[in-house]
Amino acid sequence: MIRTAAMAILFATSFVTHASEQASAKADPAKGKIVAETICVACHGADGNSMTSANPHLAGQIEQYIYKQLTNFKSVDGKPAARDNAIMAGMVAALSDEDMKNVAAWFASQKLKPEAAKNEASIALGKKLWRQGDFKKGIPACAGCHGPAGAGMPAQYPRLAGQFAEYTEAQLKAFRAEERGNDPEKMMRMIAAKLSDAEIKAVADYAAGLR
């Protein structure tokens, strides 16, 4: 019995390792750069450093997260896309699976020029939510999944450090309103549902200043 269980775990582990090795072996950032320079440049910058907060920074984002979002923006067989955004739906429509892997690898390999925290008065609240959450309200620490310094964790958890506060705030509100529902197991919708507007603003600003 014990041996079978151990073997099953071994098998599962080697399968996961193998699958992720395959994914990164396939991606070609040099080909992704061409996609970035021809299509994405207008809004995200060729190196993934965007000029305006409506368009998120992609530089230094987790590769698998970028790829997942691109597939989520795509409508498959006429069904609504998992992440509904008219602009990005148009952008991914013409991209192949290979293009999406390549461009994800390109942006993930670029260096982020990070934003900064701007609101001195809310730093303490933002820091508390980031590091400890709020036990009474049932809010977990953001650091638990997005990392102590907000760098994200491969493969599921995106980088939030240095992102535009306005973008982070908009996404938290979209999760709370269930307008964005592509988070696995409702992880973000359940957390955002418990956050007030003031808490969302504070934690988004704090994350912009994380390094």
Whether residue 18 is annotated as binding a ligand: the answer is no
The smaller minimum CB distance to ligand HEC, of residues 1 and 189, is found at 189
For residue 12, the minimal CB distance to ligand HEC (Å) is 20
The CB density around residue 85, as the number of other CB atoms within 10 Å, is 16
How many Å separate Cα 115 from the centre of its chain? 16
Long-range (24+ apart) CB contacts under 8 A made by 28-31 are: 28/102, 28/105, 29/102, 29/105, 29/106, 29/109, 30/106, 31/98, 31/99, 31/102
For residue 103, the minimal CB distance to ligand HEC (Å) is 4
**How close are the terminal C-alpha atoms of the chain, in Å?**
47
For residue 211, the minimal CB distance to ligand HEC (Å) is 16
Residue among 173, 159, 174, 166 nearest 204 (CA): 166
Whether residue 91 is annotated as binding a ligand: the answer is no
Residues near ligand HEC (CB under 6 A): 35, 39-40, 42-44, 54-56, 58, 66, 68-70, 85, 87-88, 91, 103, 129, 139-140, 142, 144-146, 156-158, 160, 168, 170-172, 182-184, 187-188, 191, 203
Residue list, annotated binding site for heme c: 40, 43-44, 88, 142, 145-146, 188
Going by the annotation, the residues of the binding site are: 40, 43-44, 88, 142, 145-146, 188
